Structure 1
Amino acid sequence: MKTTKYEDLLAENLKDKEFKKEYEALEEEFEVAIEIIRLRLTAGMTQKELARKAHTSQAAISRLESGNYRNVSLAFLRRVGAVLGVKPHVSFQ
Structure 2
Amino acid sequence: MKMDSTNYETYKKDLLKNESVRIEYEKLEEEFILAKEVMELRKEKNLTQTELAKEVGTSQPAIARLESGNYKNLSLKFLRKVAEALGAVPEVHIKKKVG
Task: Select which of 56, 59, 62 maps to 2:61.
Answer: 59
11-20 or 80-89, larger mean C-alpha shift = 11-20
- Check if 1:77 corresponds to 2:76: no
Please name the residue that 1:4 is paired with. 4
Distance 1:92 1:45, change over 3 A: same
Q: Which has the larger radius of gyration?
A: 2
- 44, 47, 55: which one aligns with 1:45: 47
Using the size of structure 2 for normalisation, the TM-score is 0.80
2: distance between equivalents of 1:80 and 1:8?
Answer: 32
Partners in 2 of 1:8 and 1:46 — Cα distance? 27
What 5-or-longer segments of structure 2 have no aligned partner?
none
Following superposition, the deviation at residue 68 of structure 1 comes to 0.9
- Measure, in 2, the Cα distance between the counterparts of 1:71 and 1:11: 33
Going from structure 1 to structure 2, the CA distance change for 1:14 and 1:24 (only over 3 Å counts) comes to: farther
Gaps of 5+ in 1: none
The amino acid of 1:79's aligned partner reads K
Correspondence for 1:35 among 20, 37, 41 = 37
Structure 1 consecutive aligned stretches of length 4 or more whose deviation exceeds 3 Å: 2-5, 18-21
Identity of aligned residues (%): 45
Hey, what's the Cα distance between the residues in 1 that align with 2:10 and 2:29? 14
**TM-score of the pair, normalised by structure 1:** 0.84
Q: CA RMSD in A?
A: 1.9
How many angstroms does 1:92 deviate by? Answer: 1.2
C-alpha distance in 2 between matches for 1:49 and 1:8: 32
Preserved contact between residue 47 and residue 62 of structure 1 (Cα < 8 Å): yes
